[in-house]
Amino acid sequence: MKDIILTDPLPEFFLPPAQVRCELRYFDSATDADFAAARGILAYGHVRIDGQMMDRCPQLRVISNHGVGVDHIDLQAAAARGIPVGNTPGCVDAATADLTIALMLATARRLVVSDAFARSADFTQYNPALLIGQEVTGSTLGIVGMGRIGCEVARRAKAFQMRLLYHNRSRRPEAEAEFGVEYRSLDDLLQESDFVSLNCPLTSETAGMIGAAELGKMKPTAILLNLARGQVVDTQALYEALRDETIQAAGLDVTDPEPLPRDHPLFQLSNVIITPHLGSATGRTRHTMMQRTLENLFAGLDGQPLPNEVQ
């Protein structure tokens, strides 16, 4: 008999390996009987999994998250009920760092605006004065969050001969030695950096970390990149800073809320690029994440230690 698993709708490539031993029940159509019979939860999207949901599942043995960030899962509630939570660290690092660099280049060189101009009737001849961007090579990059992803961002930025600063909850001497990154307080990092890259997890300490005061400390030519979580940045404050040119531009892979309402004023600005949470969205990374998600899920169902358990 297959295990009943609660989950979000899964992509087609995820179904065959999951259905080998699981009967899938999607959250939006699951019945009380499905919750009562569920032995596992596979969190593919960001459905909120709190103590109340866990209590609806008296047979629950494991929560397996497809991704690294677990801010949508009440870890204290899970621990109190003895339910292990797994995630997929490591496999998302390269892809997310790649997109960080992609957004840095795209915002610095105004690629989206330039593409639209090149397609328009206004582009009639080459003009060297058009759409002047920022030089990335030799600029200063400040990385907020020097974990696995932050280190991969630093590794890539070194190829652009960038001066590298970082802020982290604790200093990372090994990263300083390997990448030549210099530790700074958050205020000093904001003041010194040409690009500020947010690569930190969402926690009680980082929620709302970047607001009007922090944006006001950045250079008027600075660019903010958010590959963390939308809630790390005050959306209204960011809109006003971009509108008023307190900072030059922003590249956002995440927003608060996510997605933004279709009439949100950020969409009216030309100095922001927004992508739909694509940090880990490559075929290789998604398949690796799937494998690790299922490894955690199956281990928990079997009462075994999770290969990647959130501590």
How many residues in total does the chain contain? 311
Alpha-carbon distance of 149 to 157, in angstroms, equals 12
Q: Which residues pair with 223 in a beta bridge?
A: 195, 249
Q: For residue 258, give the nearest of 41, 71, 10, 92 by alpha carbon.
A: 71
- Using the structure block, give the residue that is written with the tokens 């939860």: 41
Give the DSSP H/E element, type plus range, for residue 103. helix 93-108
Q: For residue 53, give the nearest of 24, 30, 71, 86 by alpha carbon.
A: 30
Catalytic residue annotation: 229, 258, 277
What DSSP designation does 198 have? E
Provide the token pair at 65. Answer: 């998250």
Q: Provide the CA 204 distance to its chain's centre, in angstroms.
A: 16
